[in-house]
Structure 1
């Protein structure tokens, strides 16, 4: 039985990085094919149910429809090798490299179905090696697929300190002095399941005691799509704003300074064990997911002082890559020099980029 598998140098990437990998192929039986293909794809898509009204005779009738959006922003279909005759029998490995485009949106998956209102959003990547047997047999196709995890390129400034000064006015117009709120984060980019550490300084120069302070982790999802079955349907956005966590802290007396340590768990109580329900950030054209920490200092009889601190959340570790096990025959494979733009030189193959990807004989 013929076998094929694919292995990359790591499981998580960022746009602009280079994927280094190897396709392992065991040809025990003749294959009526001359080509080994490498395919890399990335897409984003979304869909959701919505309602609208149409005029029928003298009445307005409520109808339901589905809006969809999709973008294919990455598609590689490249021959790694093309033999003059059919594949030779034996064990072989085919090294490759590919530079990911800059600015790729992060991996993302969201699905919700509440009260008949279904929402689906996805940003997904995969890499595939494929040998197609030209004999026409559907069972003769050899292929191996690995999912890729892409982190959104960080667009947040490096500084982890944000400050806001607000004049406290009672009765909408009487000034009572200002309140200065400063937030210091240990970093601006986090992994799903981590705990964010934020120090909040409140300097109350006003003549009014603040009653309390509320800290919320906010998530905003924006989708863009249209209903293909309605001529007048526009590509309009759907926005979902959720409070992921919320904590309350003591207020700050007039003329005083107060420092609060406000840890924020990047998971909910329902997922205390796996910590997997916080979706990663992504910035696609039809699927977007952003986070910010909302700090609200509540002032009696006056507008509250609010400060928003954006953060970015990276996707979880690529479990399929981490749990991959090499086949027993991989160490018997012989190198084949690949062709085309994904070809790898001998110098690159011997570099640290392929460390752990090439399976050496035991």
Structure 2
């Protein structure tokens, strides 16, 4: 791009996930090889929106035409001019950037409102981003974009019957000419109706094959269905997109045979929760689809179990009255002040400590170990005498002493996070970063993967005292079956939204 060598948006701390009400701090970094003087202004904006778009062919013959169905819904848009004039000031003087590196600090506060999770789909998306534009009259503008994810809350403890195991039974009769063999009976059972990423879906199956056909295999898959809505000239049309999130393959059985599977588990990867109630043009739903492949016929035995994906897991002792579910921004109250971290396994750097709230566990930053700088040696000035307030007690973790601020109170509590497992970290969506197409003048390639809440499975189940093993015939625990995940559930690296360029 000639004189322009670097144009990028940097977030403080390289943070990628924010909560409603948070402030985004950052810098715009520009590097030019020689003086650049064709600039009217440098503008930056912070945007959150949902967008749907596709084309349809209407009419026939000479009247055939391509129609663009589009809907854009903005949640927020904030714009600031960092240097020079705004785009509307047509007669403003030009500004110059001398050769070298230039930094322009910025900050935006995300509105305190309920927002849907980011999402990338074939016919639309929900995106949050900060975009910098070097405005050049009568030329293509230079621009760059940095996308980020929004922390969303879906507390499964408020869902109706979330822990009631859904079950379903189907009977399939396979016909051959005028004769029908006995029915194929499949009974499927899940352990509950709601899950969070990092949990396992435990699937139990009973197959009775009373037919003369072989059951080749049984496929259990978690499916995501996205519903898109877009309009043209007052007409509203709909599209759907179904993706396989994860899959479990099980053996079938011979004719007149049977098979039984008990609590086979399937891990849920990082995926968007069902938090699109306030999104007018995109909705998400999930189901567990069980399919028995019957040899010699395309008519398989199939059943579906709808499930809810949330961000806070539900357990028997944490269930709450659904009628008391907090609405809007109030749902974020349990997470006020909690840091947002990127997922690593428990015990690795960056994993949120699980000690008492308000006090760093021993060995964590801000807790100076004895003998280290910042910890006064015994009997030295600044070290409280034994028995005096502030003297470190000899007891193990639990400090500060009972009754002091930040000490977890004993007995019943109204804390909304009481009894919950450690908070989740954030992990990239299945498939990792994908290229986000931009309009002409975009500087560099934008790679992006939405970040979603993800619980470390071992830590989650250990905290709740739930065994993960799969029972075997001899009463022991056997390894779980292999599950396969698709390479990507992200949008392909092309731009199906040509009209959106006008708005971004």
Relative distance call for 1:218 and 1:26 in structure 2 (3 A) is: closer
Relative distance call for 1:25 and 1:34 in structure 2 (3 A) is: farther
Instruction: Report the counterpart of residue 310 of structure 1 in structure 2.
Output: 308
Relative distance call for 1:13 and 1:170 in structure 2 (3 A) is: closer
Instruction: Report the counterpart of residue 238 of structure 2 in structure 1.
Output: 237
Match of 1:122 among 120, 125, 148: 125
Q: With the length of structure 1 as denominator, give the TM-score of the two structures.
A: 0.52
CA distance, structure 2, for counterparts of residue 305 and residue 121 of structure 1:
28
Instruction: Report the counterpart of residue 156 of structure 2 in structure 1.
Output: 157
What count of residue pairs does the alignment treat as equivalent?
277
Deviations 1:24-75 (A, max 9, x none): 4569848698965331123333233446679xxxxxx998744332223332
Instruction: Report the counterpart of residue 39 of structure 1 in structure 2.
Output: 45
CA distance, structure 2, for counterparts of residue 282 and residue 72 of structure 1:
16
Measure how far apart 1:151 and its partner are: 4.7
Instruction: Report the counterpart of residue 405 of structure 2 in structure 1.
Output: none
Match of 1:22 among 20, 26, 29: 26
Relative distance call for 1:216 and 1:144 in structure 2 (3 A) is: same
Deviations 1:276-325 (A, max 9, x none): xx899773322334333335799xxxx988533223696366687999xx
Instruction: Report the counterpart of residue 71 of structure 1 in structure 2.
Output: 73
Measure how far apart 1:99 and its partner are: 2.0
For the residue of structure 1 that corresponds to 2:50, the secondary structure is: strand
For structure 1, list consecutive stretches of 5 or more residues without a partner in the other structure.
Answer: 55-60, 112-119, 172-178, 191-195, 268-277, 324-362
CA distance, structure 1, for counterparts of residue 148 and residue 194 of structure 2:
25
Whether 1:198 aligns to 2:201 is yes
CA RMSD, Structure 1 to Structure 2 (Å): 5.8
Whether 1:94 aligns to 2:101 is no
Relative distance call for 1:290 and 1:19 in structure 2 (3 A) is: farther
Relative distance call for 1:14 and 1:235 in structure 2 (3 A) is: farther
Q: Is the 8 A contact 1:37 1:77 kept in 2?
A: yes
The higher relative CO (CA closer than 8 Å, separation ≥ 6) is in 1
Range moving further from structure 2, 16-25 or 216-225: 16-25
CA distance, structure 2, for counterparts of residue 281 and residue 15 of structure 1:
17
Q: With the length of structure 2 as denominator, give the TM-score of the two structures.
A: 0.40
CA distance, structure 2, for counterparts of residue 34 and residue 168 of structure 1:
68
Whether 1:290 aligns to 2:321 is no
Whether 1:183 aligns to 2:191 is yes
For the residue of structure 1 that corresponds to 2:283, the secondary structure is: strand
CA distance, structure 2, for counterparts of residue 75 and residue 266 of structure 1:
31
- Which structure has greater strand proportion? 1
CA distance, structure 2, for counterparts of residue 31 and residue 82 of structure 1:
11
Match of 1:108 among 105, 119, 138: 119
For the residue of structure 2 that corresponds to 1:106, the secondary structure is: coil
Relative distance call for 1:75 and 1:214 in structure 2 (3 A) is: same
